[in-house]
Amino acid sequence: NNVLICVIGAESGGVSLCVYNNARECKVRTFYAHSSTVTDVLIQGNTVFTLGVDQRIFEWKIIIDENTIGLETKRCYFTNVADCSSFLYTEDESKNRSIIVTGVGLQKLEL
């Protein structure tokens, strides 16, 4: 069962989840969590991270079943970096996770 997942951030603060399946059907749902523009999106397995100009990073769980698709908020992190533009996810050998945020400044957040 091949599934293509696409997550898109918007200027409105919305995060859209698009799922394409074998039947060439596309399901789209939009979720609102950020209060300003979403500047970056990362997909890591069944987890999505979104970064916004509002200095928040949301960690979402992707939900896909026969009838619905969705994003469930797992956590919200705050960064001290102003004008957040992008971020990088890292995981070491011991499974310690972190995110490095860039913008006007640089910050490493341990997850």
Query: Is 44:89 a contact under the CB 8 Å cutoff?
Result: yes
Task: Give the C-alpha separation, 24 to 100, whole Å.
Answer: 36
Domain ranges (residues) in the chain: 4-79
For residue 14, give both structure tokens.
């919305």
Each residue's pLDDT tens digit, 2-60: 788 999 999 999 999 999 877 677 889 999 989 999 999 999 999 999 999 999 999 99
97 - beta bridge partners?
91
How confident is the model over 76-108, as pLDDT tens digits?
999 999 999 999 999 999 999 999 999 999 999
Q: What is the pTM of this model?
A: 0.90
Contact 45, 68 (CB under 8 A): no
User: What's residue 22's pLDDT?
Assistant: 73
DSSP classification of residue 22: T
Q: Which helix (H) or strand (E) covers residue 39, if one does?
A: strand 38-44
Q: What is the pLDDT of residue 23?
A: 65
Extract the tokens encoding 89.
């996810």
pLDDT at 1: 63
- Backbone phi, psi, residue 53, to 5°: -60, -20
